[in-house]
A = this chain, B = another copy of it.
Amino acid sequence: MTISENWLIRETAFDPERLHHKETVFTIGNGYLGTRGAFEEGYPGATPATLIHGVWDDAPLFFTELANAPDWLPFVLTVDGERFGLDRGEVLCYERVLDMRAGTLRREVRWRSPAGREVDVSIERFASLADEHVLAIRYRVTPLNGPAKIELRAGLDAYTDNWGLRHIEWLAQGSSDPQYLWMHSRTLKTNIELAYAAHLAVDDISGVEYHFWDADGRPTSVAHFTLSQGQTATAAKLITIYTSRDTDDPLAAAQAKLERAVEAGYARLREAHIAAWADEWAQCNVTIEGDDAADRALRYSLFQLLIAAPRHDDRVSIGAKTLSGFGYRGHVFWDTEVFILPFFTYTRPEIARNLLLYRYHTLPGAHQNAGAEGYEGAYYAWESAETGVETTPKWWPHPDGSLVRIWTGDIELHIISDIAYAVDQYWRVTGDDDFMRDYGAEIILDTAAFWGSRVEYNAEADRYEVTDVIGPDEWHDHVDNNVYTNRMIRYHLGLAFEVLDWLDEHAPEKGAELRRRLDLSHERLARWRDIEAKIKINYDPETGLMEQFDGYFDLRDVDIADYEPRTQAMDTLLRESGIDPNDTQLLKQPDVIMLLCLLADAYDDRTRRANWDYYAPRTDHRYGSSLGPTFHAILACRLGMPEVAYEHFMHAAGADLEDSRGNAAEGIHGASCGGMWQAAVLGFAGLRVTPDGYRVEPHLPRHWKRLCFAFRHRGQPVEAVVENNKLGGGEKSA
């Protein structure tokens, strides 16, 4: 069966200039770990990385980061003593394919050695979705112009680093039999143990000799054999990984698991893995018929989210760069709840639940954040890691040696309501009342308590204000009464009352417990009501226009067109002209428009249109935040402009695959991936969950034939198909 190209990400030539970008693109994983698409044989300057959920280690300035775990990829081939590598000899043919349906990464190379030996090399790897502790590489080699002595070296590497910073300390290694090896290591500061076991086998070749190289930190199984011209050898390297987060004796667990993996063998492990992927895709695939590029790019985004999503661990979440790179150090932002989570909420609620439980488990850290600033309740960190204590760097080292002060960790507060919003959405879509009762309500109420203490009363105007914040648009810091922040606080407090009422009705004991434990006195609740009623919202009922924050409309109005053509973000260009972006109306990313998307039912078309017309032209879509385009696509759909939406959608699609923002080397743009799904399903298809059920309000681009997607509504799987009526909208058939 030929697989559709739309399930494949294909690279037909190797470009060393794009090495790090492509390492990100070809990341594989299984929700337990992610491994960048570095080559098995290495490449000069490569940045191989395996990031395992929850394996944090201390890092200067950034507090903590996901440690680059020991590398399981090393697999070196020598042909008559010459080492195979893309940086030597001659690459005659080259292809690399990420098969998203199978969850495998394959490379086919025809190579001529410096001395003239020609070989075909075929390498496939996967991180099992059927058993997250199992990894495998299949290596095939065929000499083409004469017999050849082959050496295959399959090893582990403890000497990894995160952009130069080491986190792993090698402890011990060994081998009972030259085909088997194990390695034990731990993180330098947090003492998390990592145990790997591995096995090398060459199939159906006679006279294979195995050796073990016991070089510290680089244990290696070596197989020697001779192939005749045209003869193919197939070798398999199976690897198992456990950490002390998983079990008390990770080494024993890795060795036991390896035994079972070796018994099963590569082919059966691969079958189980592919079956797991088939099951996965059946629950969450989206198909765009009539637009292969959009179809493949969207699927790629979903693939990258699926491989980063913890399936068996509710103490971790998905970082801004997933498990695919060192950018943002693995820290978790609002990107997860607002951009990524809906995909899981609608298609894989078990995963969404894990991600939200991470926030529940980090409530103690959020209390610490609030207490440190003299506030009550739970104050979720702008950047969150193991404990939920704020891990945003205060200072960021600029390449020129200076330090840039980062304010987001101090004053970008809206994440607190964003998380409450995500809990609410999860509840409405899944109907998971147990979660709301046991965890969600506490998150919503505890964070509401933060707002109760944070919001400032302006007696003169008899209103509540929130000064000195950063809204979603980060080109404006230290602003007052950001409309997104304030409106979300109003929503959040309203939700708190709704949840309290629900608890009183459906779980009165839990309601009583939370009222007592969180000290939800009548006075406190009365204050919340007062804030909800009187918080300042910069909304002009005449025009429907919202002012992003106090004084925004008085700022300098810069026309981006005056700076075109450009290859840099507007804030950089402004600064070069001596203008502080803070003093202009230009936006890094949507702010009011985000609000119109999140609280969609609270606004009418006139309001949507007025704010779109004002803010969209003032946003740096191309080089501002990668969080922007998909939400512009969603609002454009709502406004009946699917072609405009499509431009934004495809712009988002290029962030990783095309590296259109130039920073894909640092990892996948997770928020953009999640936004792609939202743009497709909540935007183009216009799926709306209502108290009674759901409906679609499609606005498909003209050239799309059909949009099909799976989701679950209150536990029931739904297969939705939206046909394009060619008149600018779509028709539903679910």
Contacts and interface: CB of A to CB of B under 8 A. Distances in A.
Interface stretch (A130-138, A208-216, A344-352, A460-468): A208-216
A220 interface: yes
A401 interface: yes
B214 A213 contact: yes
A390 to B, nearest CB: 10
A44 interface: yes
Interface stretch (A161-169, A256-264, A497-505, A583-591): A161-169
Nearest to A220: B215
Say how many copies of this protein the assembly contains.
2
A44 B403 contact: no
Contact of A76 (B171, B188, B216, B219): B216
19 contacts: A42-B216, A44-B171, A60-B397, A63-B401, A159-B217, A161-B166, A164-B165, A164-B166, A164-B188, A166-B166, A213-B213, A215-B215, A215-B218, A216-B218, A218-B218, A394-B401, A394-B402, A394-B403, A395-B403
Given A63-B401, A153-B215, 15 more contacts: A45-B169, A60-B60, A155-B215, A159-B217, A161-B161, A161-B166, A164-B166, A164-B167, A164-B188, A165-B165, A166-B166, A213-B213, A213-B220, A215-B218, A215-B219
Contacts of A216: 42, 74, 76, 157, 218
Contact of A217 (B218, B394, B395): B218
Contacts of A157: 216
Interface in A191-216: 213-216
B214 A153 contact: yes
A159 B216 CA distance: 11
Contacts of A395: 395, 403
A60 B165 CA distance: 11
A549 to B, nearest CB: 29
A92 interface: no
Ranked nearest first, the 3 interchain pairs of A and B with the lowest CB-CB distance are: A215-B215, A159-B159, A215-B218
A61 interface: yes
Nearest to A62: B401
Interface string A399-411: 0011100000000
Interface in A160-192: 161, 164-167, 169, 171, 188
Interface residues of A, number: 34
Nearest to A63: B401
A39 to B, nearest CB: 13
Contacts of A44: 169, 171
Interface in A218-233: 218-220
A666 to B, nearest CB: 16
A164 B164 CA distance: 8
A165 B165 CA distance: 5
Contacts of A63: 401
Interface in A368-405: 394-395, 397, 401-403
Interface in A56-93: 60-61, 63, 74, 76
A188 B164 CA distance: 9
Interface in A237-284: none
A190 to B, nearest CB: 13
A499 B42 CA distance: 59
Nearest to A57: B164
Nearest to A76: B216
A219 B215 CA distance: 8
A397 B74 contact: no
Contacts of A45: 169
Nearest to A391: B401
Interface string A540-556: 00000000000000000
A174 to B, nearest CB: 9
A310 to B, nearest CB: 27
Contacts of A159: 159, 217
Nearest to A59: B164
A215 B153 CA distance: 9
Contacts of A60: 60, 397
A60 B393 CA distance: 14
Contacts of A167: 164
A414 to B, nearest CB: 24
A402 B401 CA distance: 17
A61 B171 CA distance: 30
A392 to B, nearest CB: 11
A168 to B, nearest CB: 10
A470 B39 CA distance: 53
Contacts of A219: 215
Contacts of A169: 44-45
Nearest to A78: B214
